Amino acid sequence: MTSNMPLDKNRSTDVDSLLQENSDLKRQNQKLAKQVTQLIKTENRLFQFQSSLDRQLKTYQKLTDLGNALNQACDSDTVIDLAVEFALYELEFERCIFFSLNADTQQLYVRAFDGYYDETFAKVIQTLTIPWADLFNDAHPTTPLICSAHSSDSHLKSWCSALGMDEYAAMVLHHETQSTLGLLVVGNTAEMWNYHTRVFANSSAITGLTNLSNQVSIAISNIRSYASQQKQTKELEKIVQARTQEIQQKNQFLKHTLRQLKNAQAQLIHNEKMLGLSQFVAGFAHEINNSINIIYANIDVASGYMYDLLAVIMSYQKQYPQDNHPIQRAVEDADLDFLQTDLPKLFRSTLTGAERIQNIMLSLKSFSRKNEAPRKRVNIHDGIDSALMLLEHRLHSDGNYPNIEIVKHYGTLPAVECYVAELNQVFMHLLNNSIDALQTQSESAVIPRITIATESQNNRVIICITDNGPGIPQEIQAQIFEPFFTTKDIGQGPGLGLPNSYQIIHNQHGGRLEFQSQIGLGTTFEITIPLELNP
Amino acid sequence: MSTQAGVGISQHHNPKVAGQTAVANALEQADITQPDFVFLFATVGYRQEILVKTVRAATGNAPLYGCSAAGIIAQGLADESNFAVAVMVVRSDELRFYHGALTGLSQSSTAVGQELGRRISQANGADAIALFLNADAITVNFDDLMTGLGQTNQQPLPIIGSLCGDNFAYQKTYQYHNEQVISDGISWALLSGNADLVTGISHGCVAVGQKRTITRAKGNKIYEIDHQPVLDVLHDYLEDDEIESWDRTAVNLGLGLVIPGLAGYGADYGGDVFIRCMMSKDEATGSVAMATNINEGSDFWVTRRDTEKMKQAAKQTAFNVLNRLNGKTPKFVLHIECDGRGKMVLPETDKQAMIAIMQETIGRDIPWIGLYAYGEVCPIKDHNCLHGFAGVLSVVC
């Protein structure tokens, strides 16, 4: 027994030691287990804080995105749609209604709404109106209306049914001038509020909603300011436009007056010139006619004298047939046989020349018509032919220019009442211009030709004068009726022919003078005048 | 022989718009106008009846199977908001779906399981591939459900399923069958035909603290742990407000239970313990309810998620599934994630990345529909088990 004592004692010591060690380990284990549970709690809190921070960060990011979107919005409707969408999809309320205020009736009416409503209720919401005074005592409330599920405010509760929400928050949107921009209402139904952001006063959701309302207020205010500026700008633009139009009209009037002045001046110059020319032509024609009449009369007498003298010479010749007789020698020297045949020819030729001069004078008289009434019913073709007669010398080749062919397609025209002298001047101008144009292409292979066509249509006559000259360049076509515009060399014409012709046809005759021209093909001037002049 | 499938989603808050949009997108992806069968998963912000009716109408009243979820998953998307809907349309001349719905879980999960067994026995032939199953997470006793099923269905089937969610409200979940929206029930679809099923499962939990023992329990309710009232024990790990709201309790704290006979499954699952979450608490009786029966004397560890382990395991699971496909092309993927592996524990980018790596591994162009659930059902060693904090990939190929 004794010998076993130390061993037992040792064993007992070892067991005690192990038990102590075990007990220490258990205590440590329990301590560690407690630490672990504490760590788990701490970790849970950490998750919650992290989750909360993540949500806040997401909300701020979304608000920033919304701010950017609102800044880019151009109209209030877009802003309101963005606000409603944000309230539903980011703030996660079930339903959202945006009211606008009718300033005249002081009624809130639904501008936009979203969230799920059945079709029947959606129609009701669409037409919902709320008198401002039924919701607010103040014209400019500064605090939102919060109707939580547990609210005991019967006034706020009374609107739940109309809004289709069992809890709601209503934020008034103000302009900086304190005018009301709208009312943003968000909320939930009891059926679905577990899955949406709940409405509680002083909650982070209301803070988010306040941020949203502020951003939307600013955006709508900016849009209104911009719209107001745009309106002012448009009004200013209208004033400027009106002034510009006024100035343009005055400018047009001045241009017209200037053109009239130029025309009057040109007309005056032309009239003076034509008056002088007519007087000159009339006097000239009178004098020439007198002279021609003398020549006519004298030639007739001289012709008789000539035959008498020739008969006398013949008698002398018969009486003195001797070759050496002085009479016979004088007959031979004078080549009496030739004289006998040539002298009548000479007289006939002189008579023809006189007749031609007489015709020219008649044409000149016809052209000037100084001695006739200004308005007369005439055959238009006579006037055209007179002008052609006067221009005959220009139609024939002079070595530099080839002959110009005249082609007439005269229709059957009734007598036309017109200012004859003036109308003849027009024919003269137009034909002269055609000849001028044709003579600028002397080396052309084309036979120069002027075609004159007339016809009668619906109490009007149309006279077309067409040349196959080089045509009028496009860039000067708009100017050819302007007074003093000319393409001719100095001294070749003052540029009054066409303007005066235009005046004569348009103003005096109530007609039209128009032209068509193609480069390389020629030009047609078309005169249209009525058969009867206006009284 | 071919199968055309397409998945469409929508996050619109209006259930009609959301339903129509999701269906339109799904039909477009499948390149069909009329499906033979429709999968529908949606979060609970929607008025469920309106959403389901809309989807039914938009799919030409095609047979529909689905449930409410804590979130939805599709290619490139994992959305745990209150407003997200995913629709998968299937048209096939090689696959058949026989589907239905039953209620009465709270009364007797066993009876529901028995009736389910009777129903599927009619169609559970030689070419049966899998049973898809959604059950109300609040009222189901999964063990009883399986027991009942086993009593009336003699032909074992792999079950891929979920306990339906309601976005952490733990109030009411919904099961969809055609235009019906029910609670306290199950919706199911028996898949048969010419195809294979490849599954993979993983969790990412680690045990913390000492081993503990359930000292008083009845059915699926735990009353005492280590001879202490269970609610008192929870106070060691959670603050009062967390226990009060319960939503965080359910996702933050799991129980790692040792299941005899299933040890050594391997790295694919992550160990020999089954993770279960506590679905609800009852202050009056001082108990917490699990989705499965709990035996007195069971040992367990309190478990916490390890996010790194979770991500690694998810990636590995996807690779394992890919290998098991043996080159076969997936016709579609049904992906079930625990809500405790989503936004409650992972930052949004990490969560999306974890889903993305699985999708990139299996195939970005595969029709892929999934949901965040309160519990995940997937077979382990031919034994259909309920899991917590797990991710389940099931590929029909």
Domain map (residue ranges) of chain B: 3-201+310-396, 205-305
* Per-residue pLDDT tens digits of chain A, which is 535 residues long: 444 556 666 777 788 888 888 888 888 877 877 777 777 778 777 877 877 787 778 878 888 888 889 888 888 899 999 999 999 998 899 999 999 999 899 999 999 999 988 889 999 999 999 999 988 888 788 888 999 999 999 999 999 999 999 999 999 998 766 688 899 999 999 999 988 999 998 888 888 899 889 888 888 888 888 888 888 889 999 999 999 999 999 999 998 888 888 777 766 776 666 666 666 766 777 778 788 888 878 888 888 888 888 888 888 888 888 778 888 888 888 888 888 888 888 888 888 888 777 777 766 666 555 445 578 899 999 999 988 988 888 888 877 788 899 999 999 999 999 988 889 889 988 998 999 889 888 677 788 999 999 999 989 999 999 999 999 999 888 888 887 777 777 656 667 788 888 888 988 899 999 999 999 999 999 999 999 988 7
Percent of chain B scored above 90 by pLDDT?
65
Min Cα separation A111/chain B (Å): 19
Cα A503 to Cα A378, A463, A481, A495, A509, distances in angstroms = 20, 17, 9, 14, 9
Regarding beta strands B383-387 and B375-380, do their DSSP bridges make them parallel or antiparallel, or are they unpaired? antiparallel
Q: Give A50's contacts (C-beta < 8 A, 6+ positions apart).
A: B347
The residue among A98, A64, A109 whose CA lies nearest residue A187 is A98
Question: Which residue among A36, A41, A92 sits closest to B209, beta carbon to beta carbon?
Answer: A36
Under 8 Å between Cβ of B279 and B289: yes
Question: Which residue among A50, A51, A194 sits closest to B171, beta carbon to beta carbon?
Answer: A194
CA-based max dimension of chain B: 61
CA distance A173 to A210: 10
**Model confidence, pTM:** 0.64
| Distance in Å from the first CA to the final CA of chain A | 173
Cα A444 to Cα A470, A516, A524, B81, B382, distances in angstroms = 10, 21, 19, 92, 111
Q: What is the pLDDT of residue A14?
A: 82
pLDDT band at B388 (very low <50, low <70, confident <90, very high): confident
CA distance B289 to B296: 14
- Its sign, for the CA torsion A70, A71, A77, A78, is negative
CA distance B48 to B50: 6
Task: Tell me which chain A residue has its CA closest to the CA of residue B82.
Answer: A195
pLDDT band at B306 (very low <50, low <70, confident <90, very high): confident
Q: Give A480's contacts (C-beta < 8 A, 6+ positions apart).
A: A472, A498, A515
Q: Give B359's contacts (C-beta < 8 A, 6+ positions apart).
A: B75, B76, B366, B368
CA distance A411 to A461: 10
Under 8 Å between Cβ of B182 and B174: yes
* SS3 state at A441: coil
Virtual torsion, Cα B186, B187, B188, B189, nearest 10 deg: 180
Q: What is the pLDDT of residue A270?
A: 64
The residue among A68, A61, A69, A71 whose CA lies nearest residue A219 is A71
Question: Which residue among A44, A114, A194 sits closest to B248, beta carbon to beta carbon?
Answer: A44
The residue among B303, B236, B244 whose CA lies nearest residue B274 is B303
The crossing angle, in degrees rounded to 10, of helices A204-319 and A5-72 is 30
Contact assignment for B238 to A195 by CB distance below 8 Å: no
Q: What is the pLDDT of residue A56?
A: 79
ipTM given for this complex = 0.78
Under 8 Å between Cβ of B7 and B51: no
pLDDT band at B267 (very low <50, low <70, confident <90, very high): very low
The residue among B144, B168, B130, B71 whose CA lies nearest residue B391 is B71
- Which residue(s) pair with A464 in the sheet? A453, A526
Which chain A positions have a beta carbon within 8 Å of B45's beta carbon?
192, 195-196
Q: For B273, which DSSP code?
A: E
Token pair 């000259």 is found at A469
Question: Which residue among A29, A94, A195 sits closest to B210, beta carbon to beta carbon?
Answer: A29
pLDDT band at B204 (very low <50, low <70, confident <90, very high): confident
Q: Which residue out of A39, A116, A189 would a mutagenesis test of the B interface target, given it has the greatest number of B Cβ atoms within 10 Å?
A: A116
Min Cα separation B348/chain A (Å): 9
Q: What is the pLDDT of residue A315?
A: 86
Task: Tell me which chain A residue has its CA closest to the CA of residue B81.
Answer: A195
CA distance B222 to B48: 33
Q: Which amino acid is at B133?
A: L
* SS3 state at B296: coil
Tokens of A388: 């052609």
Token pair 């995940």 is found at B376
A34 in contact with chain B, both atoms CB, cutoff 8 A: yes
